[in-house]
Amino acid sequence: MAATKDAVELQVGERTVRLSSPDRVYFPDRGWTKLDVAQYYISVGEGILRALRERPTMLHRFPKGLAGKKVHQKRLPAGAPDWVETVELHFPRYDLTADELCPTEVAQIIWAVQMSTVEFHPWNVRRADVDRPDEWRIDLDPMPDADFSRVRRVAAAVHELLDELDITGYPKTSGGDGLHVYVRIAPEWEFADVRRATQAFAREVERRLPEDVTTAWWRKDRDPSAVFVDYNQNARDHTIACAYSLRGVPEGTVSTPISWEEVADVDPRDFTLATVPDRFEELGDLHAGIDDEVFRLETLLEWAARDEADDNG
């Protein structure tokens, strides 16, 4: 690492990335700086690149650190070097397009940190086909009065149902109060059908744990002590923090891959900028095998058609 008066130069693979204002404090409660954020992402580079590779990625930027305002950045920030890759997305609702960051190497992620990015929120598609997801996301979102023991129970039911479907899911903490489970799927269905399949899965979990789970669309209709299985996270232009992404919260928590065996005892607050690098060095990336198996949605879409017929009957 080379230092200048107001910047440092980081060697990231074959690239040299200039990081300005390295001593700017991003996490005031912890004293962690912009340089700490960059070094964190370098330490888990293999894992976060696996989560982001060739995915359109929205950036959550904090130009003044967490003490300032957060910027939701769809378009690539100005001033990117020519080796930072993008993909063009279309937003039908507004009839607009945007070139979003599309990482293919760790240096591009560190360049985004240079542009004050703390969180990385990828789409569930890859640039080869931005209209057909290859990633099915199960988001367990606890309502305000739901404690984490309830999230654990729901996660166990999700695991059981995936096993019955002969589908491998990869869990991670959200970096907040919930859990996520990711599944690789064949990129053959558009967003609407992936969302329908996810809703059908959620409703089956709800049938098994009616006291713990809600799939009610409107927040006012949800039990405040239940866990919402948020199927809408598979809709177009909906993104959530990827594996190994920091969260823009005072504790500096990380959305961290875990094993199914850890679900029963995990405390998401244990995974932070300070602790995850050592965990990564010891365990490697627990999502390393996620691309090895690709699953299909026909059964879930059959369930969706059944539920829709029942709803209309």
For 109-146, write each residue's pLDDT tens digit.
Answer: 999 999 999 999 999 999 999 999 999 999 999 999 99
Q: Nearest 5°: phi and psi at 177? A: -100, -5
When pLDDT is cut at 50, 70 and 90, the band that residue 5 belongs to is low
pLDDT of 28-70, one tens digit each? 999 999 999 999 999 999 999 999 999 999 999 999 999 999 9
| pLDDT, tens digit (0-9, with 9 covering 90-100), for 212-225 | 999 999 999 999 99
Cα torsion 203, 205, 208, 209: sign? negative
Structure token digits, residue 8: 């440092």
Return d(Cα 295, Cα 183) in angstroms, integer: 8
| Averaged pLDDT, 164-174 | 98
Could you give the CA distance from residue 35 to residue 161 in angstroms, rounded to a whole number?
Answer: 42
Q: Does the pTM of the predicted model rise above 0.85?
A: yes
